[in-house]
Amino acid sequence: MSKSEEYSDIPGTYLFDKNACAKGYQLNNFCMSLMKDENRKAFLADEPSYLDKYKLTEAQRQAVLDRNWLKMIQEGGNIYYVSKLGATSGFSFEAMAASMAGTTRENYRNMMIGGGRPIQGNRSKAEQAAAAQKKGTV
């Protein structure tokens, strides 16, 4: 079975592995706290003070304040935890997904209704680089 390092050639994918789990531990714990209604209210009432209770890195803290979903994932957030922040702050999952994919909600929704993001061209970074090179030489 593959070790987690062997997944790095899969594009646009952040395996929630030993590194992410350690890096994102406090960030995900913060998100987990939003399972409770009183915590959701306290967070929304004063976000900076609430975040002070968690030992977040500066990048994690800023990503939370900015609702930068992709950045949270890159900083060790796990999508199932991060989506609790989305629900707390009124973001639909579609809005979060579109933001991570770098597109509009409408484009994202249409892509899904059209059958989703195709696997062709999205299997590996090597495949994408080869395709880009080929395109460049045409």
Partner 1 sequence: MAKIVAGVGCSHVPAIGAALDMGKSGEDYWKPVFDGFARSREIMAELKPDIVIEVYNDHGTAFSLQYIPTFCLGVAPEFKPADEGWGPRPVPMVYGDPEFAWHLVESLILSEFDMTIVNEMEVDHGLTVPLSLMFGQVKEWPCPVIPLCVNVVTYPPPTGKRCFALGRAIRKAVEEYPKDLRVVIFGTGGMSHQIHGERCGLINSAWDKSFLDRLTADPQGLAQVPHKEYVREAGAEGIEMVMWLIMRGALDDNAKEAYRFYHVPASNTAVGNIILTNPGA
The smaller minimum CB distance to partner 1, of residues 16 and 42, is found at 16
Tell me whether residue 62 or residue 122 sits nearer to partner 1 (CB atom).
122
Distance CA(134)–CA(138), nearest Å, equals 6
Q: Are 82 and 89 in contact (CB under 8 A)?
A: no
Of 58, 116, 134, 137, the residue at the interface with partner 1 (CB under 8 A) is: 116
108 binds partner 1 (CB under 8 A): yes
Vertex 104: Cα angle to 82 and 124 (nearest 5)? 70
Rounded Cα–Cα distance for residues 60 and 72 (Å): 6
Q: Is residue 119 at the binding interface for partner 1, with CB under 8 A as the rule? A: yes
- Amino acid letter, residue 118: P
Choice from 42, 59, 87, 95 touching partner 1 (CB under 8 A): 87
Name the residue nearer to partner 1 (CB basis): 22 or 138.
Answer: 22
Determine if 73 is a binding residue for partner 1 (CB under 8 A): yes
